[in-house]
Amino acid sequence: MSRTVRIIGVPMDLGADRRGVDMGPSAIRYGGLARELNEAGVEAVDTGDLSIPRAEERDPDATQPMAGKAKFFREVEETTRDLTETVADTLEAGETPLTLGGDHSIAIGSMVGSARDADVGVVWLDAHGDYNTPSTSPSGNVHGMPLAAALGVGDFEGVDWANAEGLREENVAIVGLRALDEAERAAIRDSDVTAYTMSDLDEHGVTTVVEEALSVATDGTDGVHVSLDLDWLDPKTAPGVGTPVRGGATYREAHSALETIADSDAVRSVDVVEVNPILDEHNETAELAAELAASAFGKRILR
């Protein structure tokens, strides 16, 4: 085994509207994650879960330190700071962090930690752009803001705990978009981020699009952070997510995408997020999440 993958659970659901994704890390583990990673030829070391503030003990509408609205913003900051250090320490130890969510707000900490003392690109597999800010978000849910936060967009400009120093817009590729708010649509168009919709995947095929995304993310960088939101897949394939959008990636397209990413040998860190066991059917979304994580680390049918 040439690679050690450190599993980091982040049972966070404060960044989303619907409760339940806090159980995602446990469900993914129960879905066979360690076995799947072992079959991928990597050593899996599970360090357990980070401690997350309880929603029942906090005020989601407490006075925020920036303009606009962002629910549980202070709690997201606490978790981000903790995860940032954990991811950075994991990389410094020569291991690869695999962060299990939880809602997608946890990706702020993954990206900031991964981009400490390194230039990092991002491949963002998601139905949504996650490019809102507290001022533009219709919901105030921080799981719709992590890319904007890490890139220092709008309200997030200069926010020390949120901005990933070694990450630039021109090294970010969003793959599989099909649901955007008006403000974030305009923000993405005005940015240097590369965005591929599901129509692009239909026209060119998933392998070609992911190869192009990797070219963007690896251009002048030290590695790639891969962030997989399970709502990237079609709800018929992955029913256990909080914000399903019809017309997503198929089972085979998802595996092909992650296999292509693994073949690049550029993976530096990985997120797997937004599995909601309350909404799932027989844990199939969590099991799929475990499979796809293994594909990202090189699992194949014949090896």
Q: Which residues participate in catalysis according to the annotation?
A: 104, 126, 128, 130, 143, 229, 231, 274
The one-letter code for the residue type at 240 is G
231 annotated as belonging to a binding site for a ligand: yes
Burial grade of 220 (CB within 10 A; 0-12, 13-18, 19 or more): exposed
234 annotated as belonging to a binding site for a ligand: no
200 annotated as belonging to a binding site for a ligand: no
Cα radius of gyration (the chain): 17
104 annotated as belonging to a binding site for a ligand: yes
Supply the angle between the helices 251-263 and 284-296 in degrees, to the nearest 10.
30
Determine the distance from the C-alpha atom of residue 181 to the mean position of all C-alpha atoms in its chain, rounded to a whole number: 19
Tokens, residue 154: 């709008």
Determine the distance from the C-alpha atom of residue 220 to the mean position of all C-alpha atoms in its chain, rounded to a whole number: 22
The one-letter code for the residue type at 66 is M
Burial grade of 285 (CB within 10 A; 0-12, 13-18, 19 or more): buried
Give the other-Cβ count within 10 Å of 283's Cβ: 18
222 annotated as belonging to a binding site for a ligand: no
* Tally of residues, the chain: 303
234 and 288 Cβ atoms separated by less than 8 Å: no
Alpha helices in the chain (DSSP H): 24-30, 33-39, 73-92, 107-114, 146-151, 182-190, 198-204, 206-218, 251-263, 284-296
282 annotated as belonging to a binding site for a ligand: no
- Rounded Cα distance, 270 and 7, in Å: 10
Report the candidate in 249, 262, 271 with the shortest Cα–Cα distance to residue 80: 271
- Look at the block and give the residue holding tokens 């404060």: 14
Residues annotated within a binding site? 104, 126, 128, 130, 229, 231
Residues annotated within a binding site for Mn(2+)? 104, 126, 128, 130, 229, 231
